[in-house]
């Protein structure tokens, strides 16, 4: 099988196709080094052209190092956190989200201090227990404004089933198929105290998973936690700030298409994640928590703002590597995501991107595989540079203009590798083919065709290849009788056959045919190999008509010469069969002796059709595939539905009577109509109507100089036999040939 493929497409192109298949498979598998190249290119895009900051109502309330120096180490008492919430709300903030989780009770709460210090005097412990609980104070402050508490994911389920049952849902709708198979899953989350969860207006998950290289490029908009849909921190803050209405999740056949939030459609990747388009870290994005507590922040600074509470303090370890090449506080990544949503500046890695990239690899590499073997080195370089620069420019243009991320690396790398391979094979292939052409084909085809093969060696494939061919078989009718007239003159018979075969060969070669072999008085030829012949069926029909006409001329010359010598010449009558179909064609045989030949069912049928030219009384018989290919361009009629010897399936056969000029004559229209009427009556077992049509058919042949007597006589004999033995209902009209 591999040898067949090599012969059909050539070893160079075969190697290119193998490489292309490997490139496509690697892209589908997407190992870390492939995705790493792609992500590195996207990082470079952001580093070259980071997002331009725009004024948006997003502020980070930063628990920074100066805040910790002024108000003590973290964690602060919940009363201090409550004070922050109260002051931020009083300053006019629209909503507040915590990039922090309050999972345990405040150890600095008065009751906790009394419990953790049993050595205190009993009266003091009683007084402490009577004081308000810090967590209650924070919950009370949360109820006074819109607050989103943060939750963080864990990758393994906890055993506390009661906690799982208490998972609070966020109102949502699903547009399309079930999104759960596509979403990132977390068996559980670390949640806040129930009193805080109940007091909050929303709950968002602030966990962000890095890519395998540790860079935080994508942020989940929505995820599946305990089989419950949960928004990320930034989108949940936006949902709460816009009224706390339900969000909608839209899916398509590729996965998640987007999230509808606050009346806005936010496109996502198939897994519900988005690509933030980052600016460098900006000081104006931050407000110090210490300044808020100390009253050093003007109220208008926070008025109308969406406030994210997080930390940039060094000791709290909340810095994340980013595509910009510098670390950034985790809370700022959420803030930038919120800015992207509000300003429609998210990067878009659409669901169809992988399909486009695979198609690009396929098209660019296929163009290289197809074109490199047929163009010069100078054009190869220009072609490759234009392809690669064009595609890379398109990728950057899409990022720059519409923020679409289309991988520039794999299509370019794949095309370069394919180009290197094909260029390496090109020289050796050309040299080898030039040496093969003249020796392999000089004996089969015309000198003009050999020259064309040398100029265009890509049209040659040595070895077996599958092609659609039109195959011609010709044979001399009554050759035994003809040879008997030369029993005393064998050299004369040889000279006659050489003249006869020369006449046939010239007609075949004029129409670009390939002579397969001579078999005594018979000839086998075919069209559409070794070079492509798009209209090979018509070329074969023209050759067959020319062969009959040239043989008639040869007969006339022989008759004239015989008359001058006072004798008579037995005329040569040639029968021809044509058929079109898929064949295997190429150099076949042994290592020491081989022929360029064609094999296949279409070849066998052409041979059988040639044998039927005698019983039908016509010179040229066509198979149905050939007739369909030349329909409307030649004078031909349907002859029969015939089951030839050795085949089970019947074949509709046709008689080729003349060229386009004959087809347009009114006399031929009369003959064709009479034949059509005869065939219809014959199939309907209307023998009287069929015989009447045969009378018309025989008369119609005379003006066209066509002898239809043999064909008419055949059907008269059949009709007589069928009258005597009616075929009955269900007869399919198929005639079974009893000889070859």
pLDDT at site 682: 94
Most distant CA pair in the chain, distance: 155
Q: Are 458 and 436 in contact (CB under 8 A)?
A: no
pLDDT at site 434: 56
Residue 371, CA distances (Å) to 97, 357, 366, 414 in order? 59, 21, 8, 16
Element (H, E) at 446: none
User: What does the angle CA 727 – CA 732 – CA 738 come to, to the nearest 5 degrees?
Assistant: 80
Spatial distance between the Cα atoms of 714 and 682, rounded to a whole number of angstroms = 13
Q: Which residues pair with 202 in a beta bridge?
A: 148
Q: Are 290 and 302 in contact (CB under 8 A)?
A: no
**For 660-733, where are the alpha helices, taking DSSP H only?**
660-663, 666-683, 687-701, 709-724
pLDDT at site 6: 52
Spatial distance between the Cα atoms of 327 and 169, rounded to a whole number of angstroms = 33
pLDDT at site 155: 52
Q: Whose structure tokens read 């706390």? A: 244
Tokens of 188: 């559980």
Spatial distance between the Cα atoms of 335 and 56, rounded to a whole number of angstroms = 10
Q: Are 51 and 277 in contact (CB under 8 A)?
A: yes
Angle between helices 490-510 and 536-564 (to 10 degrees): 150
Residues 6+ apart with CB under 8 A from 481: 570
**For 117-186, where are the alpha helices, taking DSSP H only?**
122-130, 134-143, 161-165
Provide the residue ranges of all domains of the chain, joining segments of one domain with +: 2-48+350-438, 58-170+182-247+278-343, 442-455+466-664
pLDDT at site 165: 45
Tokens of 30: 């997407």
pLDDT at site 478: 73
Q: Are 88 and 62 in contact (CB under 8 A)?
A: no
- Under DSSP, the state recorded for 166 is T
Element (H, E) at 729: none
Q: Are 148 and 96 in contact (CB under 8 A)?
A: yes
DSSP code string of 530-596:
SS--TTHHHHHHHHHHHHHHHHHHHHHHHHHHHHHTTS--PPPEEEEEEEEEEEEEEEEE-SS-EEE
For residue 363, which phi and psi values (nearest 5 degrees)?
-70, -50
- Domain 442-455+466-664 part of CATH 3.10.20.30: no
Tokens of 540: 């074969």
Residue 480 CB: number of other CB atoms within 10 A? 7
Spatial distance between the Cα atoms of 69 and 293, rounded to a whole number of angstroms = 13
Residues 6+ apart with CB under 8 A from 5: 14
pLDDT at site 127: 56
3-state helix/strand/coil string of 65-92 = HHHHHHHCCCCCCHHHHHHHHHHHHHCC
pLDDT at site 309: 95
Question: Do strands 172-175 and 247-252 pair parallel, antiparallel, or not at all (unpaired)?
Answer: parallel
Spatial distance between the Cα atoms of 146 and 196, rounded to a whole number of angstroms = 12
pLDDT at site 628: 96
Tokens of 733: 């009209």
pLDDT at site 164: 47
Which of 660, 634, 642, 606 shows the shortest CA–CA distance to 470?
606
For 157-267, strand residue ranges (E) read 172-175, 185-186, 188-190, 202-205, 219-220, 222-225, 228-231, 247-252, 255-261, 264-267
Spatial distance between the Cα atoms of 399 and 378, rounded to a whole number of angstroms = 32
- Pick out the chain residues at pLDDT < 50: 1, 157-165, 443, 446, 459
Which of 420, 449, 421, 428 shows the shortest CA–CA distance to 437?
449
Spatial distance between the Cα atoms of 571 and 109, rounded to a whole number of angstroms = 124
Residue 342 exposure: Cα atoms within 13 Å on the Cβ side = 20
Torsion sign across C-alpha atoms 722, 728, 733, 739: negative
Residue 57, CA distances (Å) to 46, 339, 555, 623, 733 in order? 23, 8, 101, 79, 86
Spatial distance between the Cα atoms of 483 and 572, rounded to a whole number of angstroms = 11
Helix (H, G, I), strand (E, B) or coil at 471: strand
Q: Are 62 and 288 in contact (CB under 8 A)?
A: yes
Which of 222, 231, 224, 218 shows the shortest CA–CA distance to 97?
231
Q: Are 672 and 631 in contact (CB under 8 A)?
A: no
* Conformation bin of residue 64: beta by default, left when phi > 0, alpha when psi is -120 to 50: beta
Residues 6+ apart with CB under 8 A from 311: 62, 63, 64, 74, 99, 100, 318, 329, 331
Length of the chain, in residues: 740
Residue 193, CA distances (Å) to 105, 134, 149, 219 in order? 7, 12, 10, 25
For residue 276, which phi and psi values (nearest 5 degrees)?
-65, 145
- Under DSSP, the state recorded for 640 is E
Contacts by residues 394-401 (CB-CB < 8 Å, ≥ 24 positions apart): 395/41, 396/45, 399/42, 399/45, 399/49, 399/347, 400/49
pLDDT at site 160: 41
User: What does the angle CA 21 – CA 25 – CA 26 come to, to the nearest 5 degrees?
Assistant: 120
């Amino acid at each position: 099988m591999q040898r067949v493929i090599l012969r059909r497409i050539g070893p160079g192109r075969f190697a290119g196709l193998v490489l292309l298949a490997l490139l496509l498979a690697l892209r589908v598998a997407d190992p870390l080094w492939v995705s790493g190249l792609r992500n590195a290119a996207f990082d470079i895009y952001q580093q070259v052209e980071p997002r331009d900051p725009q004024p948006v109502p997003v502020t980070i309330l930063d628990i920074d190092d100066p805040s910790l120096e002024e108000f003590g180490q973290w964690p602060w008492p919940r009363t201090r956190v409550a004070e922050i919430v109260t002051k931020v709300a009083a300053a006019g903030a629209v909503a507040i989200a915590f990039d922090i989780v309050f999972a345990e009770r405040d150890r600095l709460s008065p009751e906790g201090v009394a419990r953790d210090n049993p050595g205190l005097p009993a009266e003091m412990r009683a007084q402490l227990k009577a004081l308000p609980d810090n967590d209650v104070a924070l919950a009370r402050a949360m109820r006074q404004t819109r607050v989103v508490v943060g939750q963080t994911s864990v990758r393994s389920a906890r055993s506390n089933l009661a906690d799982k049952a208490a998972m609070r849902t966020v109102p949502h709708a699903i547009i399309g198929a079930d999104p759960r198979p596509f979403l990132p899953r977390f068996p559980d989350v670390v949640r806040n105290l129930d009193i805080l969860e109940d007091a909050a207006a929303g709950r968002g998950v602030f966990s962000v998973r890095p890519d395998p290289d540790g860079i935080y490029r994508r942020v989940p908009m929505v995820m599946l936690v305990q089989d419950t849909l949960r928004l990320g921190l930034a989108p949940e803050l936006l949902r709460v700030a816009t009224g706390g209405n339900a969000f909608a999740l839209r899916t398509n056949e590729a996965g998640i298409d987007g999230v509808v939030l606050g009346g806005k459609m936010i496109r996502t990747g198939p897994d519900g994640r988005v690509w933030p388009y980052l600016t460098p870290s900006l000081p104006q994005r931050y407000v110090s928590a210490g300044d808020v507590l100390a009253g050093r922040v003007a109220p208008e600074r926070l008025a109308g703002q969406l406030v994210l509470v997080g930390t940039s303090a060094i000791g709290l370890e909340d810095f994340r590597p980013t595509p910009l090449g510098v670390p950034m506080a985790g809370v700022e990544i959420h803030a930038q995501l919120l800015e992207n949503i509000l300003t429609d500046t998210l990067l878009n890695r659409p669901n169809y991107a992988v399909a486009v990239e695979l198609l690009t690899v396929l098209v660019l590499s296929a163009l290289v595989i197809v074109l490199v073997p047929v163009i010069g080195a100078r054009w190869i370089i220009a072609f490759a540079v234009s392809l690669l620069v064009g595609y890379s420019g398109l990728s950057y243009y899409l990022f720059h203009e519409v923020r679409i991320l289309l991988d520039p690396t794999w299509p370019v790398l794949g095309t370069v590798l394919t180009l290197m391979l094909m260029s390496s094979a090109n020289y050796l292939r050309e040299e080898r083919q030039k040496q093969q052409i003249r020796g392999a084909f000089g004996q089969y085809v015309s000198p003009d065709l050999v020259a064309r093969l040398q100029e265009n060696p890509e049209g040659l494939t040595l070895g077996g290849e599958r092609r659609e061919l039109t195959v011609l078989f010709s044979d001399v009718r009554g050759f035994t009788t003809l040879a008997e007239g030369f029993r005393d003159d064998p050299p004369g018979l040889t000279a006659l056959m050489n003249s006869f075969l020369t006449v046939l060969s010239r007609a075949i070669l004029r129409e670009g045919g390939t002579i397969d072999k001579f078999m005594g008085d018979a000839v086998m030829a075919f069209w559409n190999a070794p070079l492509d012949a798009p209209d090979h069926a018509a070329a074969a029909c023209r050759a067959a008509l020319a062969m009959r006409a040239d043989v008639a001329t040869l007969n006339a010359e022989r008759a004239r010469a015989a008359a001058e010598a006072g004798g008579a010449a037995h005329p040569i009558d040639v029968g021809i069969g044509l058929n079109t179909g898929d064949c295997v064609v190429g150099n076949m045989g042994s290592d020491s002796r081989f022929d360029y030949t064609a094999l296949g069912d279409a070849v066998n049928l052409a041979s059988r059709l040639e044998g039927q030219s005698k019983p039908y009384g016509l010179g040229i018989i066509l198979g149905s595939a050939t007739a369909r290919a030349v329909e409307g361009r030649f004078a031909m009629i349907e002859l029969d539905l015939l089951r030839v010897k050795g085949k089970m399936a019947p074949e509709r056969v046709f008689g080729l009577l003349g060229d386009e000029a004959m087809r347009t004559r009114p006399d031929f229209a009369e003959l064709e109509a009479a034949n059509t009427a005869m065939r219809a009556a014959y199939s309907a077992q209307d023998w009287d109507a069929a015989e009447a049509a045969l009378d018309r058919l025989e008369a119609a042949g005379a003006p066209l100089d066509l002898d239809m007597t043999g064909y008419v006589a055949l059907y008269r004999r059949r009709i007589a036999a069928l009258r005597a033995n009616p075929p009955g209902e269900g007869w399919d009209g198929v005639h079974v040939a009893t000889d070859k």
